[in-house]
Amino acid sequence: MPRLIQKLVLVLVTAWVLPALADSSLLNVSYDVARDFYKDYNPIFQKYWKARSGESVELKQSHAGSSKQVRAVADGLEADVVTMNQASDVDFLAGKGLVTKDYAKKFPNNASPYTSTMVFIVRKGNPRALQDWADLIKPGVQVILPHPKNTGNGRYSYLAAWGYALRQPGGNDKSAQEFVSKLLRNAPLFASGGRDATTTFMQRKIGDVLVSFESEAELIAREFGKGEFDIIYPSLSILTEFPVAIVDKVVDKKGTRKLAQAYLDYLWSKEGQENAAQNFLRPRDAELLRKYAAQFPAIKTFTVDEVFGGWARATPAHFRDGGTFDQIYQSK
């Protein structure tokens, strides 16, 4: 018995101390559902880096809610790179002087190595026949989405509906606000995050439709089973970008800039792009997108930049105190 305890203690201590022994290391601070992607990506990069430079590198991951993560970086969490699901979170770090202001130009594709889009998840067989955003504002339809004011998923859902309404014939800001207001009236509650919204819809069986990232549908299927729901692609949706950036202040201090640059650059390599596709994130590489066409049906999308002039404008206009969300919500 004491032998067993000794062994157990040894295993626990090594598991905890061992990573601290590697010489060159990189900390990637990221949003919560990105773990699977980077768990698969890290070994790919480690192999590539070993072949290129002969160094073995230790890659550390930190995942939690994205806004909480950037706050922690601003408060001193020594991230070499941040990989987020919303530009406004990286903008926050740029505002604090940790990340360069033109981080979006430092890498191709707006510094977003892969994309996703907002889709509908409906009950098996789509009993309410919900095909497009316009069906979601019909009376009696219950829509589940996370809180638009303070969650990434919620904001993307909100802007997707807004952009859809804007692009309808005769659409303008007023008609878009009217449209989104009807949509929000159909939300029985606002979930506190993507995971919470999923639990509400899948486990508590509340609502007719869940608005979520296409990439998250796969995670939902993994936990709740593929046969439990259908995915519906609306006629038009928002292109969700996942910006990455080097935290200048940290890499300059730690001397890891070259490594950090290579780590993020390699996301655009064939291997990195294929890993995105395998994790149900749409690769930027056109050839790979065709290869995985079966899991990424064609869908018309618009970006936050195109319709809203970037997050730097969209956030104050819609989600700050007194923005359109508050106006709609208070008149509700």
Partner 1 sequence: MSTSSRLANSEPRWLRRVLIGTGLGFLFLFLALPLLAVFAEAFNGGWSAYIEALKHPEALSAIGLTLFIAVFVLPFNILAGIAAAWTIAKFDFRGKSLLITLIDLPFAVSPVVVGLVFLLIFGAQGAFGPWFAAHDIKVVFALPGMIIVTLFITFSFVARELIPLMQAQGRDEEEAAISLGASGWKMFFRVTLPNIKWGLLYGVILANARAMGEFGAVSVVSGHIRGETNTLPLHVEILYNEYNAVGAFAAASVLALLALVTLVAKTIVEWQMRKETEMLDAALPPEAVRNQE
The binding site for partner 1 (CB under 8 A) comprises 11-13, 15-16, 19-20, 27, 29, 32-33, 35-36, 60-64, 69, 72, 74-78, 193, 195, 198, 219-220, 222-223
Give the whole-angstrom CA distance, residue 204 versus residue 200. Answer: 5
Give the whole-angstrom CA distance, residue 255 versus residue 287. Answer: 36
Q: Please say which residue, 42 or 110, places its beta carbon nearer to partner 1.
A: 42
Q: Please say which residue, 12 or 293, places its beta carbon nearer to partner 1.
A: 12
* Residue 125: Cβ within 10 Å count: 9
Q: Give counts: helices (H), strands (E), the chain.
A: 16, 12
Q: Please say which residue, 191 or 239, places its beta carbon nearer to partner 1.
A: 191
Q: How far is the CB of 248 from partner 1 (least distance, A)?
A: 14
Sorted by sequence, the CB contacts under 8 Å of residue 210 that are 6+ apart come out as 120, 121, 122, 144, 145, 197, 198, 200, 201, 202
Q: How far is the CB of 268 from partner 1 (least distance, A)?
A: 24
Residue with tokens 């406004």: 88
Q: Count Cα neighbours of 39 within 13 Å in the Cβ-side half-sphere.
A: 9
- Using DSSP's 3-state secondary structure scheme, residue 32 falls into helix
Q: Count how many residues are written for the chain.
A: 332
Q: How far is the CB of 33 from partner 1 (least distance, A)?
A: 6
Q: How far is the CB of 100 from partner 1 (least distance, A)?
A: 18
Q: Please say which residue, 79 or 143, places its beta carbon nearer to partner 1.
A: 79
Q: Please say which residue, 29 or 328, places its beta carbon nearer to partner 1.
A: 29
β-sheet bridge partners, residue 60: 27
Q: Please say which residue, 14 or 175, places its beta carbon nearer to partner 1.
A: 14
Please name the amino acid found at residue 149: K
Closest CA to 141 of 150, 132, 151, 153: 132
Q: What is the CA radius of gyration of the chain?
A: 21
> Are 128 and 208 a contacting pair, CB within 8 Å?
yes
Q: Please say which residue, 66 or 177, places its beta carbon nearer to partner 1.
A: 66
Q: How far is the CB of 252 from partner 1 (least distance, A)?
A: 13
Q: How far is the CB of 193 from partner 1 (least distance, A)?
A: 7
Q: How far is the CB of 8 from partner 1 (least distance, A)?
A: 9
